[in-house]
Amino acid sequence: MSEAAPECLEGVDTDAVQSALLSWYREDHRSFPWRETTDPYEILVSEVMSQQTQLGRVVEAWDDFLDRWPTTADLAAADRAAVVAFWSDHSLGYNNRAKYLHEAAQQVEDDYNGSFPETPDELSELMGVGPYTANAVASFAFNNGNAVVDTNVKRVLYRAFGCPDDDTAFEQAANELMPEGESRDWNNAIMELGGVACGQTPACDAQSCPWREHCDAYHSGDFTAPDVPEQPDFEGSRRQFRGRIVNTLGEHDELALDTLGPRIRVDYAPDGQYGRDWLRGILTDLADDDLVELDESGPETVVRLRR
């Protein structure tokens, strides 16, 4: 942990945030073969391939590449034209990435006696390996990287904690949040969060986002981000109202149903289209997610935020 938390993380329960994300990731996440290995060469190949290609398409190319050149020694000894041709045949983006990967394999063999460097700084010495890729390989292969900050991570930090759209601020916040000794699972987890739950159009509830109770955007309903300049559409704007409910209840100990309604929707009418039945439906979902509780013991339904 840094000596002083970034301003956007002030007041954040870091332990709760860390525990929630790691538990969510470890319970269930997308399965990719490079997540099942700690071989730095295999991970480097996946990182380089993923830079311009959807992950679903990378799987086949990754398998084929490693079948053909299973080690850095095999790749280093290969004809560069064959490596570039493979890249083109599999539509993996700029061919210079194939050239750099080939040269990096030669560096590992010639400069490191076939053993991969392990730290982000050393990995950055390999051809074509920038800070992001170096951190990723150090994290996923050796569990000793810094926080990885890609577009998905920036979007998550901006929405969840209001971190400013500034690379230094994102890096500081990402490193402050990452638990010591957990770079492998943490970096996978926060990128997974941005990939499946907090995409450009978020799926907070559908993906059971573990940061809903901590998230500024979920509370406010404003899901803009650096790469999402306009508010995305939501199904019936339901998520926006969920956020408003949680935010409003956070300011009050409890509210009766008909007191809460007008606070989250100006056209709330108890017996209207957007009335008690509509509000109760959203509250039932929130209760199922253990975010609120409904007290129906008295003449009026009372709603409380679950603590």
Pair of tokens at residue 9: 């993380």
Q: Exactly one of 47, 109, 171, 192 is catalytic; which is it? A: 47
Whether 304 contacts 254, CB under 8 Å: yes
Sheet with 302-305, strands from edge to edge, namely 255-256, 302-305, 292-295
Which residue from 193, 206, 195, 199 is spatially nearest to 228, judged by alpha carbons?
199
**Residues contacting 271, CB < 8 A, separation 6+:** none
CA distance linking residue 188 with residue 148, whole number of Å = 9
The rounded radius of gyration (Å) of the Cα atoms in the chain is 23
Whether 107 contacts 41, CB under 8 Å: no
Per-residue CA distances from 232 to 156, 161, 244 (Å):
15, 18, 16
Vertex 23: Cα angle to 22 and 27 (nearest 5): 115
Pair of tokens at residue 127: 């051809």
Q: Is the dihedral of CA 203, 207, 212, 214 positive or negative?
A: negative
The answer to whether 47 is a known catalytic residue is yes
Consecutive H or E run containing 305: strand 302-305
CA distance linking residue 180 with residue 140, whole number of Å = 14
Active-site residue list = 47
